[in-house]
Structure 1
Amino acid sequence: MNAPLPLAPPTLAHARVPDTSPPGCWGDDVKRILCVRLDNLGDVLMSTPALHALRESGKERHLTLLASRSGVALAPFLDDVDDVIEYDAPWVAPASGSGHDLAADRRMQQRLRAGRFDAAVIFTVYSQSPLPAAMLCYLAGIPRRLAHCRENPYALLTDWLREPEPQQRTRHEVQRQLDLVRHVGAQTADTRMRFHVPAAARRSLAAQLAARRIVPDTADTADATAAAQATQAANCAPIVLHPGATAASRRYPPERFGAVASRLALATGAPILLTGSASERPLVEAVLRAAAPAMRAQLHDLSGALNLGELAALLERASVLVSNNSGPVHLASALGTPVVDLYALTNPQHTPWQTPQRVLYRDVECRWCYRSVCPHEHHACLLGVSIEEVVHAALELRHPHASPERRDPPVRSDRRHGEPCCDDAASSLTDQPAVP
């Protein structure tokens, strides 16, 4: 359930893994750690188990996340992160397409120096070089610097693992980052991705659903038994469809999403909720136009209506998420929500993690292209997946006997407010499935 896709990696004649730096142990003197993750929201989410390992493996550790604008949005929901710094690095493609300011880069170097960090961990996917970030941390005077690296980094990294991917093997992105921090002695038994849903987000979502008349009317079931009420609640739990993705190469056609929505509405009678950003509203509208007219009353457009906390609150109460491989897939994984992942073969590492799942794709010779636009313009890795397969997978995961019972959320320590607390999520809407 937690492995990358079981497709053969390329075999290269020059592939070998030379020695890396000796394994070490960052002791209790390493208290202030800069965690560098400069790509997307989903990438930051997949680094949260490693962040938790860093937190657990030293006394009084303080973690600062250095992230892009997208990644920074996660910080309020990550209990292991104490501080956050936003940085759109010049070696990472900007979401806005805007240019970079050299003066801003110099100010960032000075800000990191002022942070007096004891160490930096640079998280990357295997197609990214850690060396620009390593140089930034080196110039900022951070004495310990850890990353995966393909070539010898010499003085830029004090602790490093030789990059083995994709020549020797591929790992799930979560496992990759756990292996990285283990090199300096940071380990954890709890390898779940982490996202704390605030109670205020749940209340705000509930108000929105009630205003849109999406929640079921339970007035006529007041005399029903608790078991009957629970069954009705399960049957009425919404199905969430997310038709967007940042890259065109990872989008299943909206016409097919419309057909999937129609068939799920007919088969279940449950509300079908369509999510996306405000900029994705035209895409969601295309899905609605493609849906069967008789089923449209069960379909609800939430594009642009939810902030990140409310989206998480929605996903934790959903019976299943059907989505392109994008941020909501990883958010659902962090919340234990079953996922049907329409997985374009742009990379092998980002499947759902520790949650009931069906990963749908067709193998193609051009797999692992790492392209945002299909280079051959055929989208065969996605278009080979039929509507029937998607519907069947969603119904199978949604069935109450198809997935394990949901687990209770962990008791957490609210470091930001200095007091222990147990999240008020101990209800049927906030349980999570057991880790396999």
Structure 2
Amino acid sequence: MTRQGNTTADFGGRQDAARSVGPVLAPFEDIRRIAVLRGGGLGDLMFALPAIAALKDRYPAARITLLGMPGHAALLDGRPGPVSEVLELPVSPGVRPGEEDARAVDRFFASVSGSFDLAVQLHGGGRNSNPFLLRLGARHSIGTRTPDAVGLERSIPYVYYQHEVFRALEVVGLAGAVAQDLEPRVEVLPEEAVRAAQLTGPGPVVALHPGATDPRRRWPSSSFAEVAVRAAADGCEVVVVGDATDVPTAEEIVRLALRTDPTADVRSLAGQLTLGELTGVLDRSAVMVGNDSGPRHLAQAVGTPTVGVYWIGNVINAGAMGRSLHRVHFSWVARCPVCGVDVRQVGWTAERCEHDDSFVAAVPPDAVYADVAELRATSLLLRGR
């Protein structure tokens, strides 16, 4: 027996417990509609996919609705997988950033209230997301919880330094679901593969993504440019990808690379690709190099080898788990390079200082490119590209 809050339930069996991240409780009865709350960016969605797949395996007849973001819908709509539909979250504090419209929030809940048998909170520590989840009126609720958050029917403590994939899998264990996979899987559509072949040449492609939501996670443009030059010299086509916010940085990388070698096959696709096209280009790539960001996680999900540049704290929460196809380079920065404040206590436990200086600037391009070259050879063997 294991106790979660005020709820005591049986483990789901010795075999399930052995395959789980945390306790596996008895599954709920008569679950036909499941809501999963997971806002945030592309990477946040990737972290949730193994848990959603586990829910689908435990409740195969259930319809799973992701309460997420427009980008989530753009990626998942029409794509095979465990998510049946994506409902766009309204702007609400701590759930979706922006200027809140209380009437829009009320309309959202009026349209979905009472529709779900099980509501799953995979969105942070629950201070804001748990009250939001409970407004759905589901018969059962599970999720994470900080000490100051409203309780759910079954919950686990939210401890910041835990890998996000494992955190989500531990949550769904509360509903009897066990991991079927430890990595996100995104199936590339045939038309995306065709479009990627049109956007790139016939040779090996190395994709670079220089963006990250937090500027402190961004590797310098000069370091990306050095990798680009070396990859081009080794016969690769180098494409810099990203959204509209990444365009200036992508153009700077191309400019620096061409300054070093005017003949280098390096160009920017930043701001030019739909999410489907990005998925295809990442799948088409032999190796992808990026910061801790959504495109790197998406590249991993489509099966492309990656080299990630991380701050050490983010490795714990978001680093790739395997090393055969994924390499991680990280910095050990513990204090802000400008003001010296301790940056190890993050999340809700400490306020962020105002400085945006990179935590990962010291990661050496030589070491990164050594892994690019090695993984390119691995990719040629495994994927024939």
TM over 0.5: yes
Give CA deviations for 1:136-163 in whole Å, capped at 9, x if unaligned: 3323321211011122766x41111133
In the aligned structure 2, how far is the partner of 1:181 from the partner of 1:302?
38
In the TM superposition, 1:60-209 aligns within 5 A as 60-76=61-77, 77=79, 79-92=81-94, 98-113=98-113, 116-124=115-123, 128-151=124-147, 156-163=151-158, 165-166=159-160, 170-209=161-200
- Please give the secondary structure, in 1, of the residue aligned with 2:360: helix
Number of residues of Structure 1 aligned to a counterpart in Structure 2: 353
Q: Which whole-Å CA distance do the structure 2 matches of 1:64 and 1:384 have between them? A: 42
Q: Shift of residue 403 of structure 1?
A: 9.2
Residue 37 of structure 2 corresponds to residue 41 of structure 1: no
Do the aligned partners of residues 131 and 279 (structure 1) sit closer, same or farther apart at CA in structure 2, a change above 3 Å counting?
closer
Mapping for residues 9-28 of structure 1, pairs under 5 Å = 20=5, 21-23=7-9, 24-28=25-29
Verify the 8 A CA contact 2:126 2:146 in the aligned structure 1. Answer: no
Contact 1:356 1:403 in 2 (8 A): no
Shift of 1:283: 1.2
Question: What RMSD, in angstroms, separates the aligned Cα atoms of the two structures?
Answer: 2.6
**Is contact 1:134–1:145 with CA below 8 Å preserved after alignment?**
no
Normalized against structure 2, the TM-score is what?
0.83
Q: Which of 252, 258, 261 does residue 286 from structure 1 map onto?
A: 252
Given that residues 338 and 397 in structure 1 are in contact (C-alpha distance below 8 angstroms), is that contact kept between their aligned partners in structure 2? Answer: yes
> Which of 351, 355, 363 is matched with 2:332 structurally?
363
Aligned counterparts of 1:241 and 1:31: Cα–Cα separation in 2: 42
Residue 74 of structure 1 deviates from its aligned partner by 2.8
The equivalent of 2:19 in structure 1 is none
Tell me which amino acid in the other structure corresponds to 2:326.
Answer: Q
Greater shift, 53-62 or 143-152, is seen at 143-152
1:393 alignment partner in structure 2: 371
Instruction: Give per-residue Cα distances to partners, 1:186-236, cap 9 Å, x unaligned.
Output: 114333312121111111222233xxxxx23xxxxxxxxxxxxxxxxxxx3
What SS does the corresponding residue of 2:94 show, helix, strand or coil? Answer: coil
TM-aligned CA distance change 1:137 to 1:121, over 3 Å: same
TM-score (norm 1): 0.74
Gaps of 5+ in 2: 10-24, 336-342
CA distance in 2, matches of 1:373, 1:129: 18
Classify the secondary structure of the residue corresponding to 1:130: coil
Give the 3-state SS of the residue equivalent to 2:331 in structure 1: coil
Cα distance, 1:370 vs. partner?
A: 4.3
Distance in 2, Cα, partners of 1:280 & 1:296: 24
Is 2:370 the counterpart of 1:405? no
Question: Is contact 2:127-2:148 (8 Å) kept?
Answer: no
Change beyond 3 A, Cα 1:88–1:253: farther
State the partner residue of 1:275: 241
Q: Per-residue CA shift, 1:336-360, capped at 9, x if unaligned?
A: 2111101134533011245612211
Is 1:330–1:353's contact at 8 Å kept on the other side of the alignment? no
Kept in 1, the 8 Å contact 2:39–2:67? The answer is yes
Superposed CA deviations along residues 93-116 of structure 1, whole A, max 9, x for unmatched, are 756xx41101111112212215x2
Partner amino acid, structure 1, of 2:88? E
For residues 66 and 253 of structure 1, what CA distance do their matches in structure 2 show? 35
The alignment partner of 1:51 has SS state of helix
Deviation larger for 308-317 or 43-52: 308-317
Distance 1:146 1:89, change over 3 A: farther
Distance 2:353 2:219 in 1: 12
Could you tell me how far apart the structure 2 residues matched to 1:285 and 1:68 are?
28
Q: Quote the offset at 1:388 in angstroms.
A: 1.4
- Post-superposition offset of 1:383: 1.4
Amino acid at match of 1:162: P
Query: Is 2:95–2:128's contact at 8 Å kept on the other side of the alignment?
Result: no
1:244 aligns with 2:211: yes
Residue type of the alignment partner of 1:173: E
Q: CA offsets per residue over residues 260-313 of structure 1, 9 Å max, x none?
A: 2112211x1111111111332211111111114435541122112221122111
Task: Quote the sequence identity (%).
Answer: 28
Against the structure 1 CA distance between its residues 153 and 386, is the aligned structure 2 distance closer, same or farther, given a 3 Å change threshold? closer
CA distance in 2 between partners of 1:140 and 1:242 (Å): 37
C-alpha spacing 1:19/1:121, structure 2 compared with 1 (3 Å): closer
- 1:181 deviates by 0.6
Output the CA distance in 1 between the equivalents of 2:66 and 2:95: 19
